[in-house]
Structure 1
Amino acid sequence: MKKFSALQQHDAMDCGPTCLAMICKYYGNHYDITHIRNLCTTSHEGVSLYAISRAAENVGFRTIGIQLTISELGQESFLPCIIYWNQNHFVVLYKIKKTSRGLVFYVANPATGMIAKFNELEFGNCFLNSINAQGSGVGIALYLSPTNKFYEKKGDDNKKKIQALEFLYSYLKPYKKQFLLLIMVLIFGTTIQLTLPFLTQAIVDKGIKSQNINIIILILLGQMVLEMGNTFMGFLRNWLLLKTGTKINISLISDYLTKLIHLPISFFDTKQTGDILQRINDHSRIQGFLTDSSINAAFSIINIIIFGSIICIYNRIVSLIFFLGSILYIFWVWAFMKQRAILDNKIFTQNSANQSSIIQLVTGMQEIKLNVCGQRKRWEWEHIQHNIYRLSMKSLKLSQFQQSGGLFLNQAKNLIITAFVATLVIKGKITLGMMISTQYIVGTLNSPVDQLINFIRQFQDAQLSLDRLQDVYEKPDEDNEIKKNISDQDCGDIVLNAISFKYDKIDSRPNIDNVSLRIPQGKTTAIVGLSGSGKTTLLKLILGFYHPDKGTIYIGGERLDNINMQDWRKKCGTVMQEGFIFTDTIAHNIAPNATKIDISRIKKAARIANIDEFIEKLPLKYNTIIGYDGHNLSIGQKQRLLIARAVYKNPKYIFLDEATNSLDANNELEIMEHLNKFIKGKTAIVIAHRLSTVKNADNIIVLKDGKIVECGRHVDLITHRGLYYNLVKNQLGF
């Protein structure tokens, strides 16, 4: 049987794609988990077995999903297979072994990145999830068999490694001068260290032996000057590392945030907040590796070569003992690398869950109090803390065992060398000064060896962090090609030609189903329908948040996918249902992209949104801090502020998605009167349930299950007595 290697998932919802990546690797084709995740269309809820099956067929497997008993599962020819585990997880069953005590099941768990063995009872508790017609317990498995198509395709693992090297080098390149200065500092420090053992030998052999105090004082003064120079070089080195390291760290995190901003909305649909935030901590590891560990490792190697050569000149047997001991030390540390990687990924997962838990606890405090679920939420957080503590203890034990063993090997090596050179002194083969000098060199060599071992650890940490970050950096930007900017003259009709779209690509039911629609320039088009009919989804497609699965969207005759998205959205003033208020001043919330605030425009926007009186009553007026860390706003006030934000842009297109649904009737009436004047001559889309908001629209589109079922003016649709009539009837109660 081929050797089976377990892989560990990067994110909380990656168990299915990781299982498929393991099986691809088993059959000889290495696929990046990110690539398979895209094939599976992973969401916040993870993936279904059907989605994994579709992805497997895409890379060249023949698949069969089946419910079966444990005895039916025990057919070696169908392994490895993916099984549904504990009703919330996917794992790979890759081997079943018959023993005198019964069946033993070998399971690769992507959550841990490890292979575990289960007896039949333990396996059944996790695998069996329902009862069949015969009354037997059954579980769900996905059998996979590679076809010729699988072997014809090539994975993408090598490409990823090349990109990783380029990624790291790109951050070192701008600091060539600083690193050159660091190299000069370290060379000077190495030269000083090189002279010290010879000075020590001279004190013993020339000063003490000849009882010449002047020679001793002279040598000691020389040592003092050299040590002062070494201390200064150390200070300069640390200053350069701090300065360069801080700049690199800022660049790393800034580029990460820039990348996040340029990613499409669909990326955030598949990520938990904690996963995204936790990756910021990964940048510190990479920065430490680039600026500190790599430099130290390079000069540790130089020191080992130089001082190793000197000790070899002194005595070859001593050098042999030293290098054999050091090699054993390095191999001892290397033996724990796989376990460290597994624990690191587990701790990352739990820290991500911790971040998400705290964010939900703080931001959801009102709902926690209303539903009296504070204790349960606290227990959930404490459970995560228990997992972090347990993993930290495991990591500490592993680290202590690793360090204790390494320390023992290192000290044993030093004692053997001491005993050997002491014997040589007794036999008169070397002088006492040479013995002390040898001991000094051995002590000096221990530090570079320790730094090399630390480099190995930090290299592994940086590699693990980079693997997780690659998942973000490999995603294509929203505007990953040079696209056309849209001018004011290009701002014409919005045309949707046979548009179809679904969030879950595996689901057969589209959210938008073959919609063809023209939204005339300078007119107001209203979109109405029951909740879940596709109104907001249609607007998000027009805004370019998602790409249609079928059909084309045109803006003024230009295909939307040929237009630069940032430039397109600058032309749009949009109020979404889930609009966000930043922790900033009211002025900067109304004009979030303005480098210089135009206070007259802000006041005009606030007046149109009917929030100006409220703002003027505040002590700091438009400079009042609002948001999570500032002045609390009601839902209605937030909506009015979002309307003011859209108005401030003075856009060619204005899109309102339930923009007034939280306002009282009087406020809504005033705002709609202001907005009707403001949007005159602009292209507007208004999504609303309330009759008062849509009845004056030039055209009303009625959606049901993602399809257009009616369209026309208010009076015509009422006369038609279709779905729109029923919506109005239910709202007004006639």
Structure 2
Amino acid sequence: MSKTSKKTGQKEVLIKVFNYIKKYRIYLYISLILSFVTVLFTLYIPKLTGQAVDYMFGPSKVDFGGVMFIITKIMIFVIITSIGQWIINLCNNKMTYNVVRDIRNDAFHKIQEMPLSYLDSHAYGEIESKIINDAAQFADGLLMGFTQFFTGIVTIIGTLLFMLTVNVYITIVVVAITPLSFVVAGFISKKTFTMFKEQSIIRGEQTGYINEMIEGQRVIKAFDQKEKVIEKFDVINEKLRDKSLKATFYSSITNPSTRFINSLVYTGVGVFGALSVVSGRMSVGQLTAFLSYSNQYTKPFNEISGVITELQNAIACAASIFSFIEEKSQTPDSEDAITRDHFDGEVKIEGVSFSYVEGQKLIEDFNLEVKPGQNVAIVGPTGCGKTTLINLLMRFYDISKGAILVDGTDIRDIKRGSLRNGYGMVLQETWLKSGTIRENITMGNPDISDEDMRKIAKVCHIDSFIQKLPKKYDTIISENGEEFSHGQRQLLCIARVMMGKPSMMILDEATSSIDTRTEMKIQEAFNAMMEGRTSFVVAHRLSTIRNADIILVMKSGNVVEMGNHKELMERKGFYYDLYMSQFVGKAI
């Protein structure tokens, strides 16, 4: 990356950060005003101290009245400064954590707007790292920046003004040495930004890998992959170590470098000040004040150099979050998209083509007409496009060519929420949120009565094991219902769909984790629920779709056969071979 692009990148990120700060600028204004006041009072104290020194003319020649008056003023200023610092910290904390909260909210809302293609192609742990870890790092750097950066700048300007009132020539000496600090800080900040940005990327990769390995622990243990998993983690960890060490090295040399320059400033003030006292151009009290000012003048350079390092890390983390927030959202609904409360269930697929990766064909020139209330089964070998077809019907992905119509309307002219509410969908993968069982199963119809809920729960064979739980339907379950078996979780998901009473149904291997006996009962419940509703059923167990009105037999993204069970068996084609492979030796 060129120097110009780095600067531009940092500048763009800072502009975005300040756009978030605008909403809370009242806290920023209060912080800035109080920073100015507290610094002013803090810088006035050395001048008072110098005056107190000058009131001490020698042994038994001390103006105690004048000294006590100055001490009283110093105490008042210290109290005011302390209260001001406390309010500054409150404002900075309030502003920082409100800004980070808003950024996290925007990032989380972005997930809801993301096309599934993005979520399918990025590790979940990497996304989690951006929203949680990077946001936390950004908050730490931003807070330090607000707390020390503004105060440091005001202190530098203030001390220069006070020093000018004491001695112009020595002030010029101090100012002459100052640019060295900026040169050092500028060089280091350029290096650290790049290092911290790379560190943030690798940290996201590491979080994603950890997340993936935790979810796959059973498989890892079953296949004895522990050594390989640890070996790959060590590689990622080593990369993170290298980048972190480099970032830490460059950031750690900031403070010693600026301290060396500050020592030069202090030495210069001491030498020139002593000569001025000897020559009578300055009093001892003024030299005392000037030495104090030189310390206060150089101290912010140490703090700001540390702040710059933290800010570089914060900006790198902010850049990572903003890059996620600014990812392309799914294509928005058209302005004239309609909302439908109910669908009759007529579905037409006309000349549809689609592929996940450009250039790799999957579904080509696909046509289908489904009348309201028909049961359509989709079968075929793994990877033939069965689930892809479901994704297109639900508009999780947009088609590349052709059109899909529901009740005569192109689904691109129907609002996504309305279209998806028209379908009841049960997937092979189960998902339950942390909360009560009632909240999970009534998600699609929260106003359902307890009586209807219990009735459907009994049909779905979940009421029996729910009644054994401590709080029955109000029992709180963990994320994804880990306390239940996979079959029970699938039954809960089936019940959730049935309680939504949708216009159309999609079942994607919905009973794959249920024993044969329960599957037969669930199938009866599905048949009752699907009566009068258009339904699409993806199935590997061909015994479950023998009564389907239309069976689509897919292979390599194309429909190679279409018809009912009897017609397809008589043709003795691809479907016949699939069926016989499952029921070899059995009567058809």
TM-score in same-fold range (> 0.5): yes
- Which AA in structure 1 matches 2:312? Q
Where does residue 236 of structure 2 map in the other structure? 384
Change (3 A) 1:399 1:693: same
Change (3 A) 1:216 1:592: farther
Structure 2 segments unaligned to the other structure (5+ residues)? none
CA positional deviation for 1:6 = 6.7
Q: Deviations over 1:100-148 (max 9, x none)?
A: xxxxxxxxxxxxx9xxxxxxxxxxxxxxxxxxxxxxxxxxxxxxxxxxx
Q: TM-score, normalised by structure 1?
A: 0.73
Change (3 A) 1:412 1:162: closer
Where does residue 576 of structure 1 map in the other structure? 427
Match of 1:186 among 35, 42, 45: 35
The whole-number CA distance in structure 1 between the counterparts of 2:282 and 2:202 is 58
The whole-number CA distance in structure 2 between the counterparts of 1:408 and 1:525 is 79
Match of 2:26 among 177, 182, 190: 177
CA positional deviation for 1:377 = 2.2
Q: TM-score, normalised by structure 2?
A: 0.90
Where does residue 619 of structure 1 map in the other structure? 470
Where does residue 276 of structure 2 map in the other structure? 424
- Which AA in structure 2 matches 1:201? G
Q: Is contact 2:439–2:446 with CA below 8 Å preserved after alignment?
A: no
CA positional deviation for 1:435 = 0.7
Moved more, 299-308 or 240-249: 299-308
Match of 1:540 among 381, 391, 410: 391
Where does residue 219 of structure 2 map in the other structure? 367
- Which AA in structure 2 matches 1:367? V
Where does residue 52 of structure 2 map in the other structure? 203
The whole-number CA distance in structure 2 between the counterparts of 1:404 and 1:241 is 28
The whole-number CA distance in structure 2 between the counterparts of 1:368 and 1:166 is 45
Where does residue 478 of structure 1 map in the other structure? 330
Where does residue 282 of structure 1 map in the other structure? 134
Q: Deviations over 1:288-346 (max 9, x none)?
A: 55555257534543433332123234333322332333321121122123432332233
Moved more, 262-271 or 548-557: 548-557
CA positional deviation for 1:230 = 0.8
**Amino-acid identity (%):** 25
Does 2:76 align with 1:236?
no
Where does residue 686 of structure 1 map in the other structure? 537
Structure 1 segments unaligned to the other structure (5+ residues)? 8-24, 31-112, 114-156
The whole-number CA distance in structure 1 between the counterparts of 2:230 and 2:447 is 44
CA positional deviation for 1:481 = 4.8
Q: Larger % of helix: which?
A: 2
Change (3 A) 1:601 1:325: farther
3-state SS of paired residue (2:253): helix
The whole-number CA distance in structure 2 between the counterparts of 1:200 and 1:496 is 87
Does 2:207 align with 1:358?
no
Q: Is contact 2:92–2:146 with CA below 8 Å preserved after alignment?
A: no
- Which AA in structure 2 matches 1:261? Q
Does 2:518 align with 1:667?
yes
The whole-number CA distance in structure 2 between the counterparts of 1:578 and 1:233 is 57
Change (3 A) 1:542 1:442: same
Q: Is contact 2:89–2:147 with CA below 8 Å preserved after alignment?
A: no
Q: Deviations over 1:646-698 (max 9, x none)?
A: 11222112110011122222111100101111122222111102233212222
Q: Is contact 1:297–1:452 with CA below 8 Å preserved after alignment?
A: yes
Q: Is contact 2:145–2:307 with CA below 8 Å preserved after alignment?
A: yes
The whole-number CA distance in structure 2 between the counterparts of 1:490 and 1:597 is 20
Q: Is contact 1:208–1:216 with CA below 8 Å preserved after alignment?
A: no
Match runs of 1:369-518 below 5 Å: 369-478=221-330, 480-481=332-333, 483=335, 484-489=337-342, 492-507=345-360, 510-518=361-369
3-state SS of paired residue (2:467): helix
Q: Is contact 1:587–1:597 with CA below 8 Å preserved after alignment?
A: no
The whole-number CA distance in structure 1 between the counterparts of 2:63 and 2:188 is 53
3-state SS of paired residue (2:405): strand
CA positional deviation for 1:630 = 5.7
The whole-number CA distance in structure 2 between the counterparts of 1:610 and 1:230 is 69
CA positional deviation for 1:251 = 1.6
The whole-number CA distance in structure 1 between the counterparts of 2:275 and 2:497 is 87
Question: How many residue pairs get matched?
Answer: 581
Q: Deviations over 1:13-45 (max 9, x none)?
A: xxxxxxxxxxxx9xxxx9xxxxxxxxxxxxxxx
CA positional deviation for 1:502 = 1.1
The whole-number CA distance in structure 2 between the counterparts of 1:6 and 1:198 is 48
CA positional deviation for 1:227 = 0.4
The whole-number CA distance in structure 1 between the counterparts of 2:171 and 2:377 is 85
- Which AA in structure 2 matches 1:331? V
Moved more, 459-468 or 192-201: 459-468
Match of 2:174 among 322, 339, 342: 322
Q: Is contact 2:196–2:312 with CA below 8 Å preserved after alignment?
A: no
Q: Deviations over 1:389-414 (max 9, x none)?
A: 34433333333333222221222222
Q: Is contact 1:478–1:565 with CA below 8 Å preserved after alignment?
A: no
3-state SS of paired residue (2:510): coil
The whole-number CA distance in structure 2 between the counterparts of 1:635 and 1:201 is 79
3-state SS of paired residue (2:377): strand
Change (3 A) 1:565 1:252: same
Change (3 A) 1:596 1:186: farther
The whole-number CA distance in structure 1 between the counterparts of 2:11 and 2:297 is 34
Change (3 A) 1:415 1:274: farther
Change (3 A) 1:324 1:278: farther
3-state SS of paired residue (1:518): strand
Where does residue 642 of structure 1 map in the other structure? 493
Computed over aligned residues only, the root mean square deviation of the Cα atoms, in angstroms, reads 2.8
- Which AA in structure 1 matches 2:439? H
Where does residue 75 of structure 2 map in the other structure? 224
Change (3 A) 1:461 1:631: closer
The whole-number CA distance in structure 2 between the counterparts of 1:475 and 1:389 is 29
Q: Is contact 1:262–1:479 with CA below 8 Å preserved after alignment?
A: no
The whole-number CA distance in structure 2 between the counterparts of 1:451 and 1:596 is 58
Q: Deviations over 1:547-598 (max 9, x none)?
A: 1111122222222223322332222211122332334433333234677785
Moved more, 566-575 or 594-603: 594-603
3-state SS of paired residue (1:439): helix
Change (3 A) 1:535 1:346: same
Match of 2:436 among 570, 573, 585: 585
The whole-number CA distance in structure 1 between the counterparts of 2:130 and 2:235 is 22
- Which AA in structure 1 matches 2:466? I
Moved more, 463-472 or 636-645: 463-472
- Give the structure, 1 or 2, with the largest relative contact order (CA under 8 Å, sep 6 or more): 2
Moved more, 696-705 or 304-313: 304-313
CA positional deviation for 1:458 = 4.0
Moved more, 662-671 or 454-463: 454-463
The whole-number CA distance in structure 2 between the counterparts of 1:454 and 1:607 is 64
CA positional deviation for 1:347 = 2.2
Match of 2:158 among 306, 323, 326: 306
The whole-number CA distance in structure 1 between the counterparts of 2:350 and 2:480 is 45
Change (3 A) 1:571 1:161: farther
